């Protein structure tokens, strides 16, 4: 099992120079994994990022940022294609950096919520499965894996539950299309975090270990012992990554509703979190 942190804890958007500073800091805190968000297409140099990550002995994943013009099920075909082109870009980028997993809500724009009839949902699911099937083949050709993330009801109305992600991934039925679960979102939506993890089983290729308020894992009310037991039951041995955000970056603060600091510092959030997760899971 590898313990990681998303650079959104400190900054947005990530730049090459910031990664040069953050990678050794992350390593020094006891992490052995780092997660790099891809917001703009030219925010940081992927070749250089790969060298920085490797030089610091870190594993790496990338996180997709699905905005209004990056939506795989939008009624506008141009927006759907732009979303698919963005995911292809990210899949090539993760190969360049030297990682495998591209994680996130790889289906619709974060923040887009809408009412659906059963027929509407069936149509959108068909559209998504077709999109992800093509993207999974592309991912496989680039040694990458897409990890589809359910979000809470305030950030999407489409995939909120592990069971809904399972339906999509099972229909795609490709080794490069898996699931990421995030305890922050699960804490809102799932009846039982443990049951959701067990139901997902071997489909889970990535885990975001996040507290209910986005503070340091172990400082809130997520049922961590239940999570740990379920992770062990399914034999999960993949990345466990802390994802949080800083209120100092106004654009990401508004998007993620981060209005206040959760710990005495962002460094404390990361350090306290990894210390807790290692005691819980290592």
Dist CA 147 CA 104 (whole Å): 7
Catalytic residue among 35, 149, 155, 263: 149
Dist CA 186 CA 184 (whole Å): 6
8 Å CB contact between 140 and 172:
no
What's the token pair of residue 96?
Answer: 């360049």
Dist CA 134 CA 30 (whole Å): 38
**Is 243 marked active-site?**
yes
- Listed residue (263, 260, 198) closest to 233, CA to CA: 198
Dist CA 280 CA 242 (whole Å): 14
Catalytic residue among 35, 211, 243, 263: 243
What's the token pair of residue 163?
Answer: 């069971």
Catalytic residues: 149, 243
């Amino acid at each position: 099992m590898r313990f990681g942190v998303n650079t959104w804890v400190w900054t947005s958007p990530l730049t090459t120079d910031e990664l040069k500073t953050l990678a050794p800091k992350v390593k020094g805190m006891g992490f052995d994994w780092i997660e790099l968000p891809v917001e703009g297409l030219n925010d940081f140099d992927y070749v250089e990022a790969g060298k920085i990550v490797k030089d610091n002995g870190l594993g790496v994943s990338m996180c997709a940022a699905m905005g209004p013009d990056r939506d795989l099920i939008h009624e506008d075909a141009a927006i759907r294609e732009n979303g698919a082109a963005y995911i292809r870009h990210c899949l090539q980028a993760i190969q360049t950096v030297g990682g495998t997993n591209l994680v996130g809500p790889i289906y619709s724009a974060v923040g887009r919520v809408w009412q659906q009839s059963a027929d509407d949902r069936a149509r959108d699911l068909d559209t998504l499965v077709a999109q992800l099937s093509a993207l999974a083949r592309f991912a496989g050709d680039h040694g990458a894996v897409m990890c589809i993330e359910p979000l809470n009801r305030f950030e999407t109305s489409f995939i909120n539950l592990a069971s809904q992600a399972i339906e999509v991934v099972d229909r795609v039925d490709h080794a490069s299309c898996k699931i990421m679960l995030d305890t922050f979102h699960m804490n809102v939506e799932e009846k039982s975090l443990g049951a959701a993890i067990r139901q997902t089983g071997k489909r889970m290729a990535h885990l975001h270990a996040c507290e209910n308020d986005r503070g340091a894992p172990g400082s809130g009310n997520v049922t961590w012992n239940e999570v740990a037991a379920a992770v062990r039951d399914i034999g999960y041995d993949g990345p466990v990554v802390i994802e949080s955000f800083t209120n100092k970056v106004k654009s990401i603060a508004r998007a993620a509703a981060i209005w206040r600091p959760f710990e005495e510092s962002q460094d404390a959030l990361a350090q306290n979190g990894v210390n807790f997760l290692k005691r819980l899971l290592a």
